[in-house]
Homo-oligomer: A and B are copies of this chain.
Amino acid sequence: MDERLKQQLDFALEVDKEKNIFRQTHLSGHGRNENDAEHAWHMALMAYLLREHANEAVDITKVMLMCLIHDIVEIDAGDTYAYDPEGLKTQKEREEKAKERIFSLLPKDQKEELIALFDEFEAYESPEAKFAHAMDNLQPLLLNNSNDGADWREHGVSAEQVYGRQNKTRLGSEKIFTEVVDRLIREHIEKGNL
């Protein structure tokens, strides 16, 4: 087997481990905790179907790729809950190390391409990054809403914390923020879930 193909397959096998990284979000139907790989799948598919609602025109292939790879670093760094202030302090450093190790399994050009894509996502500036983040925020909100806000209640999350994260959803899609996210958060505040 040629070296390039071998490197690609080594990476493909390594990222299988992402299926063992579990998030705080639970599946619909009050199911088990969700893992990073299925979360990424869900986001990528939602991004494609909802792309017409992005504030700016997006390169949808790039958005889908961002969705697919954005949590690979968690294979080493673990999942950091969006409302865990202690974990968030060290998240950047842990993820930088993981990024270097894992993407280095790939041929050099693909390593560079995927790291650039990951960094672009993290920078939250391009239309694609903003829309991919909107999906990263919307997807667990849909699940949590379907479970009557159980994830928030379990962690005692406040409306202020949720808005702190979800206000940025509007950077990717004003329509989704206004018609879905903001409306759902208000409903959960009324119900006492936040």
Contact = CB atoms under 8 A, between A and B. Distances in A.
A104 to B, nearest CB: 14
Nearest to A72: B45
Q: How many monomers of this protein are in the complex?
A: 2
A81 interface: no
A88 interface: no
10 contacts: A5-B50, A9-B142, A15-B42, A16-B27, A16-B42, A17-B28, A35-B38, A37-B38, A37-B41, A41-B41
B27 A19 contact: yes
Interface of A: 1-2, 5, 8-9, 11-13, 15-17, 19-20, 27-29, 31, 34-35, 37-38, 40-42, 44-46, 48-50, 53, 60-61, 64-65, 68-69, 106, 110, 139, 142-143, 146, 175-176, 179-180, 183
